[in-house]
């Protein structure tokens, strides 16, 4: 039997793909999104228009910072589960506009937790990031590793969000799973993401900057693989005292942290080469130093994820980038209309 699931950030990149998948599985989705202008809301509206064509989707426009609206939504709809994806993303933008991260990621998450406290749910999934591993030198990053040295305010707010979720899990017995995402890419991605920036520049015949002189490595995760793992984790509800091998389960709360990544870091230049093959365009780029707040490499230890849900989907980089390139060509040619 399908669940009623509140998805915050439903018009965002990951929220869109997750909502579409859950709808196809027979769930009812309450999509909550502020359609904020961090990037052109036109892309969010394109995603939203696709979701609104599916049975079982209801959209509620609102901001996380608006506690009263969140409370009314929870009171009126009583969702079975909540997937909290909304917030202010981006490592680099957190240097330019720190207040927006405090408001959305801290105040907004706090407001949502209060609304859930008043109307408990079966399971809360909270979107975190591999950026919380910060200055950790040991790789692959494991959920049980310390994550005490964030290199950006974005990472710091996400780490704080994890701590806030843990406290509510402990105080009010709210089963919660924090998901640390590793460089997600795919169709309908955010315009500030590297793949979108590179592809746009290539199709327009412009050069683009490659940070870290092209020496960075990332654990790229195709969005369909991420969504598959998230959908399956919804049913894996943390229970205090019922840990698996290598678990991050809290000793004092029904709370767990899980990495979702490909488990195979890819050199940035190989990623660009895959995009060149997908678009059929030779890139022009400028090698530039690392940006403030960035890390040189990421790699996910996905052993816990596999213990919890079994074997995971892992789309090869060439295939995933080709899917993205096919979508982006149509999207770019239509000047941002649905593709």
The two tokens of residue 183 are: 């460089």
What span, in angstroms and rounded, lies between the C-alpha atoms of 216 and 22?
Answer: 34
Place of tokens 């960035």: 294
Contacts of 94 (CB under 8 A, 6+ apart): 88, 101, 152, 153, 154, 157, 293
Instruction: Tell me how far apart the 2 most distant CA atoms of the chain are, in Å.
Output: 57
| 305 in Cβ contact with 258 (< 8 Å) | yes
| 5 in Cβ contact with 27 (< 8 Å) | yes
What is the per-residue pLDDT for 23?
98
What is the per-residue pLDDT for 337?
53
What is the per-residue pLDDT for 335?
66
Say if strands 217-218 and 266-267 run parallel, antiparallel, or are unpaired. antiparallel
List domains and CATH numbers for the chain: 4-333 (3.40.50.720)
What is the per-residue pLDDT for 320?
97
State the alpha helices, DSSP H only, in the chain.
Answer: 13-24, 41-51, 67-77, 93-96, 98-101, 109-118, 153-172, 194-203, 223-233, 268-279, 303-309, 317-333
pLDDT digits (tens, 9 = 90+) for 75-98: 999 999 999 999 999 888 898 999
What is the per-residue pLDDT for 54?
96
What span, in angstroms and rounded, lies between the C-alpha atoms of 74 and 70?
Answer: 6
Bridge partners of 260, per DSSP, are 181
Q: Annotated catalytic, 188?
A: no
Among the options 93, 154, 188, 222, which is catalytic? 154
What span, in angstroms and rounded, lies between the C-alpha atoms of 104 and 101?
Answer: 5
What span, in angstroms and rounded, lies between the C-alpha atoms of 266 and 233?
Answer: 25
Three-class DSSP category at 264: coil
pLDDT digits (tens, 9 = 90+) for 7-65: 999 999 999 999 999 999 999 999 999 999 888 899 999 999 999 999 999 999 999 99
| 164 in Cβ contact with 178 (< 8 Å) | no
Pick out the chain residues at pLDDT < 50.
339
């Amino acid at each position: 039997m399908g669940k009623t699931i509140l998805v915050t950030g439903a018009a965002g990149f990951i929220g869109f793909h997750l909502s579409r998948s859950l709808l196809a599985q027979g769930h009812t989705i309450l999509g909550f999104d502020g359609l904020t202008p961090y990037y052109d809301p036109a892309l969010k509206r394109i995603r939203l228009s696709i979701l609104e064509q599916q049975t079982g989707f209801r959209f509620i426009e609102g901001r996380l910072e608006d506690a009263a609206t969140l409370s009314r939504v929870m009171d009126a709809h009583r969702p079975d589960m909540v997937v909290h994806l909304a917030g202010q993303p981006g490592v680099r933008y957190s240097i330019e506009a720190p207040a927006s991260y405090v408001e959305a990621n801290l105040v907004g998450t706090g407001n949502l937790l209060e609304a859930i406290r008043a109307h408990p749910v079966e399971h809360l999934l909270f979107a975190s990031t591999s950026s919380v591993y910060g200055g950790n030198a040991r790789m692959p990053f494991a959920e049980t590793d310390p994550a005490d040295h964030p290199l950006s305010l974005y990472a710091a707010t996400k780490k704080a969000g994890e701590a806030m979720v843990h406290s509510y899990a402990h105080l009010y017995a709210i089963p919660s799973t924090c998901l640390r995402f590793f460089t997600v890419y795919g169709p309908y991605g955010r315009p500030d993401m590297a793949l979108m920036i590179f592809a746009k520049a290539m199709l327009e015949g412009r050069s683009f900057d490659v940070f870290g002189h092209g020496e960075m490595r990332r654990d790229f995760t195709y969005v369909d693989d991420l969504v598959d793992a998230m959908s399956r984790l919804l049913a894996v509800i943390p229970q205090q005292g019922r840990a698996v091998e290598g678990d991050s389960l809290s000793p004092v709360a029904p709370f767990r942290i899980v990495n979702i990544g490909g488990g195979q870091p890819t050199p940035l230049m190989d990623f660009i080469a895959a995009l060149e093959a997908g678009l059929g365009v030779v890139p022009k780029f400028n090698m530039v130093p690392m940006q403030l707040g960035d890390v040189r490499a990421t790699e996910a230890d996905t052993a816990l994820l596999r213990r919890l849900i079994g074997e995971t989907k892992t789309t090869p980089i060439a295939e995933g980038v080709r899917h993205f390139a096919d979508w982006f060509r149509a999207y770019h040619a239509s000047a941002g209309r649905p593709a």
